[in-house]
Amino acid sequence: MRFRKLKQNKTKRQNEESLKPTIKYAKTIDRIKAFITDMFMIYIPILYIITYLVMGGKEEFQSSNIAPFVGVLLYGTIYSFFLYKTGQTPGKKAYKIKVVDAKTYENISFIQAFLRFISFLFSTTILLGLIVIFYRKDKKSLHDILANTVVISVE
């Protein structure tokens, strides 16, 4: 191949790389704040409704094995629906971060969002999954790796 052709191909590749979007990964502290906000805005009202309107009181809720499971399942479904529709939960929207697919940087599917939630439950159980975020440049935690997602800042 001639030198001119090689140089043209190199210039073409550089132009293609410059067209790729620049991604700014979300800060860890913003992810933590968004999680806490989501717990107060979504999960706590679910627990209140289950405890006092469905079960009739805290003693019945505490003695039930299925009520906490239903609460977590309902929270996971609502959380996944938010991520599927807009890529943001209320907490993520407040801190201007978004969950997107790691390859396409577009919104994720409902199945992918629910898999991410189930993986999050696993990650928090072993704690190792949450520590991974401090050792990666792309700020992915274990549940992001398993669901093939990334959390980015939205300006």
Digit-coded pLDDT (tens) for 101-145:
999 999 999 999 999 999 999 999 998 888 999 998 888 999 999
Helix (H, G, I), strand (E, B) or coil at 103: coil
Residue 3 lies in a domain: no
| Mean pLDDT for all residues in the chain | 89
User: Is the pLDDT reported for residue 1 higher than 60?
Assistant: no
| Lowest-confidence segment of 11-20, 32-41, 46-55, 98-107 by average pLDDT | 11-20
Number of domains making up the chain: 1
**Assigned domain for 124 exists:** yes
Contact status, residue 24 vs residue 153, Cβ threshold 8 Å: yes
Q: What residues make up the domain containing 32?
A: 23-153
Between these two residues, 125 and 12, which has the higher pLDDT value?
125
Q: Mention every residue, 6+ apart, whose C-beta is less than 8 A from residue 80.
A: 110, 113, 114, 116, 117
Residue 8 lies in a domain: no
Contact 84/113 with Cβ under 8 angstroms?
yes
Whether the per-residue pLDDT at 64 is higher than 80: the answer is yes
Is there a domain that residue 15 lies in? no
Domain-embedded: residue 68: yes
Residue 128 resides in a domain: yes
Question: Residue 18 above 70 pLDDT?
Answer: no
4: in domain:
no
Residue 143 · residue 129 · CB < 8 Å: yes
b/e per residue 125-147 (b: at least 16 CB within 10 A): eeeebbebbeeeeebbbbbbbbb
pLDDT at 155: 80
The answer to whether residue 121 sits within a structural domain is yes
One-letter identity of residue 138:
D
